[in-house]
Amino acid sequence: MASSYSFLFLHMLVMFSLASIAFSDLSDDFYDDICPQALPTIRRVVEDTVRQERRMGASLLRLHFHDCFVNVSCDASILLDQTATIDSEKTARPNNNSARGFEVIDIIKSEVDRVCGRPVVSCADILAVAARDSVVALHGPTWEVELGRRDSTTASRTTANNDIPTPLMDLPALIDNFKKQGLDEEDLVALSGAHTLGFAQCSTFRNRIYNEINNIDSTFASQRQANCPRSGGDSNLASLDPTSALFDSKYFSNLVSKKGLLHSDQALFSGGETDELVKTYSTNLRTFSKDFAKSMIKMGNIKLLTGNQGQIRVDCRKVN
C-alpha cells in the first residue's frame, strides 16, 4: 500500500512540475529538466544539414523570420500545410516557391521527440533554435534563445502577404513594417544583415538591375543581368552578398558601394537615417554581430504563445 501511495505521489509531483513549466514564462533553461538532450539534438541536425548544403543555413534562418513577422508571433504558423480550415502561409507571395527547409524541420522534430521520449518541444522553439544554430554553423554569433513558445493552431496567408516585408519596400515602408512588429530602426538594419547569407530569385531584383540606374553600381547591375534576363528565368538565383555562406559584414559593404541586390537592401543606404549604422556595420563585424544577436532575441520574444495558449504539435505540419 505504501508503495502505491509513493507512486501516486510521485506521479502527481511530476504532473505538477510539468504544469508549472507549461505555465511559466520563457527561459533559456526551459527544457533542461524535461529533455536535456533537446537542444544538442537540434544543433546536431542543423550542423549536419548545413555541412551537406550550406545554403540551407540561410533558409532555416529565413523560416524563423517569416514565422515571426506574421501575426507578430513566432508560433510556427509558417509550417502548417493547407487544409479545409488552415489557410497555409506556405503559398503566400513571400513564401511560395521560395521558402524552404520544411523537411529539415520535420527531421529535427522527429529526432527531438525521439530523444525526449514524447513531444515536449514546440515547433516554434525548434525554428528559433535552428535559426541560431544555422548562424553559428556559418561562423556567425551565438545568443541565448529564450524557450517555452507554444505552437499556433491557425495560419494566415493574407497576413503573410501583408506583413512580411517585400523586396520593393523603400526605407519609410520598412521602418513602418518593423515598427508594427515592435522593432526599431536599429533592429531593421541589424536584422536585414541576415542577407549576409543566402540567395534571392531573379524575380525579386529584376526591376532594380534594369531600371534603378541612379542608385546601383553599373558593373554590378550588368553582372546580375547575365543571369537574370528581362523576361524569363524568374527562379534564377543570385547571392545576396559575395560570401553567401559566411556570416560577415560584406552585405553592408555592398550597400555602401551601391551593390545591394534588392531594392529594400539598398534602401538602408540611400541618404536616409539608417546610413550611418550601415557604415558602422560595414567596417565593424563585431558591432554588427552583437547587434544582430540582440535583435534576434528581441524579435524572437515578441507577443508569443506561452503557458496554456496554443499547443505543442506532434506533427509540425498540422494541428493536433
Element (H, E) at 206: helix 202-211
Q: Which amino acid is at 200?
A: A
Establish whether 66 is a catalytic residue.
yes
State how far Cα 146 lies from the chain centre. Answer: 15
Helix (H, G, I), strand (E, B) or coil at 197: strand
Neighbours of 186 (CB within 10 A): 15
User: CA of 35: how far to CAs of 29, 120, 256, in Å?
Assistant: 10, 8, 46
Q: Which amino acid is at 242?
A: P
d(CA 97, CA 76): 18
* C-alpha torsion 166→126→281→245, nearest 10: -90
State how far Cα 147 lies from the chain centre. Answer: 15
Q: Is residue 57 a contact partner of residue 137, using CB atoms and an 8 Å limit?
A: yes
- What the block records as the C-alpha cell of 11 is 506521479
d(CA 228, CA 235): 9
Catalytic hit among 64, 66, 195, 263: 66
Q: Is residue 263 a contact partner of residue 167, using CB atoms and an 8 Å limit?
A: yes
- What the block records as the C-alpha cell of 272 is 536616409
- What the block records as the C-alpha cell of 56 is 540551407
d(CA 103, CA 107): 6
d(CA 236, CA 138): 23
* Catalytically active residues, by annotation: 66
